[in-house]
Structure 1
Amino acid sequence: MLVHWFLAAIHLLAFAMGFWAVLTRGAAFNRLAAGAGEQGRVLLADNIWGISALILLVTGAMRAFGGYEKGTDYYLHQPLFHLKMTLFVLILLIELAPMITLVKWRIAKARGTPLDVRRARLYARISHVEALLLVLMVLAATGMARGVTFS
């Protein structure tokens, strides 16, 4: 029972960490687009965002499919779980462009070449949309935990 509680707590804390990181990254992208030297803050927030996503993926998989919670059958037949996974996939898809750009930035930074910041405002908007999608994931998760159904 203690492991179940611990996994749930880590999973929820990863949502909070990811929410903070993606909002921070979005704000730093906006400041970067305005001419401030925010590359370091963007990259740090992005690292934390990536770590939180990995924690969410691992703890979520353990809880849903590792026998630590209600069981795989419950999750696979729960509409809110499908909503939560759809939101997660949507985040992954819209994250592709910023992720590729930030990998390029890390390479450019290591080589000492200038960073292409022309799409910083777009990546700020994407980051803020991802934050909204995370909130919707939490709403789906809490609805699932409370047994909310739509039938």
Structure 2
Amino acid sequence: LMPASPAEAADASSFPVASAFVAYAHYASLFVFVGAVTTERVVIGRGAGNISQADEELMTTADIVYGIAALVATASGYFRVTQYGKGWDFYQHEPIFWVKLTLVGVLGALSFFPTVILTKRAIAFRNGEPYEELSPELVKRMTSIMNAELTALLSIPLSATLMSRGVGYWQDFPWPVGATFVALALFGAGYKYVGEALAWEEGDQIVAAEE
């Protein structure tokens, strides 16, 4: 294969600098995701009875950073699909693109549980309630969810590399089918995890389904 000429390289995008910055933001957000979830996982991994209020505040900060990264990833991903990447005409017919988005949906849904739990506890503390350590049951549940988040995070780059190379491309693939799976992953599972977190009361023996 012959290397592209400067003119051909310039034609790869109508706005190469903007495209580069959008791609950078997208990739950087993934690193931030991993860092934030890893921080939460390390703290929760200390086990019940070993997590201080300062540790929990660190998890809350990491969760906020995670949320900001999610906004950046969503915005940059939108522009990569519609403006600077291979284009919607390509992605809508790429099943692995929809696999990737479904994984993103699962990741987002999983993140609702620790976010709601940490928010509830932060509000309670600010309202004057004394700090109570996380129960063993809650630590176990959050650990399993964070493990699942990290698994999804590690799977997303693999699907992205396969997708960008056109692996599995199917011209007749019905994109509404892929979109349905994404919606079910995000909103269906998200509803489950938000409901579980809102209903969770420390001291109750809640048997949560394994991930």
TM-score (norm 1): 0.89
Determine which of 66, 78, 93 is the counterpart of 1:49: 66
Instruction: Say if 2:162 is the partner of 1:143.
Output: yes
- Kindly state the Cα deviation for residue 116 of structure 1 after the two structures are TM-superposed: 6.1
- Kindly state the Cα deviation for residue 148 of structure 1 after the two structures are TM-superposed: 2.6
State the AA in 2 paired with 1:147: G
Distance in 2, Cα, partners of 1:120 & 1:135:
22
Contact kept in structure 2, 1:19 and 1:134, CA below 8 Å = yes
Determine which of 30, 34, 57 is the counterpart of 1:15: 30
Distance in 2, Cα, partners of 1:94 & 1:128:
10
Distance in 2, Cα, partners of 1:70 & 1:61:
12
Structure 1 equivalent of residue 80 of structure 2: 63
State the AA in 2 paired with 1:100: V
Structure (1 or 2) with the larger CA radius of gyration: 2
Contact kept in structure 1, 2:37 and 2:149, CA below 8 Å = yes
- C-alpha change, 1:108 and 1:32, in structure 2 (3 Å) is farther
RMSD: 1.8
State the AA in 2 paired with 1:14: S
Q: Deviations over 1:43-62 (max 9, x none)?
A: 11111111111111111112
- Kindly state the Cα deviation for residue 146 of structure 1 after the two structures are TM-superposed: 2.8
Distance in 2, Cα, partners of 1:123 & 1:12:
26
State the AA in 1 paired with 2:159: A
TM-score (norm 2): 0.65
Return 5+ residue gaps in structure 2 as ranges.
1-15, 171-211
Determine which of 118, 124, 136 is the counterpart of 1:108: 124
Query: Which structure has the highest helix share of the two?
Result: 1
Distance in 1, Cα, partners of 2:162 & 2:147:
23
Contact kept in structure 1, 2:29 and 2:73, CA below 8 Å = yes
Distance in 2, Cα, partners of 1:135 & 1:92:
14
Distance in 1, Cα, partners of 2:121 & 2:27:
30
- Kindly state the Cα deviation for residue 90 of structure 1 after the two structures are TM-superposed: 1.0
Contact kept in structure 1, 2:44 and 2:51, CA below 8 Å = no
Runs in 1 of length 4+ with deviation above 4 angstroms? none
Contact kept in structure 1, 2:94 and 2:169, CA below 8 Å = no
Q: Deviations over 1:26-51 (max 9, x none)?
A: 11122252423111221111111111
- Kindly state the Cα deviation for residue 70 of structure 1 after the two structures are TM-superposed: 1.4
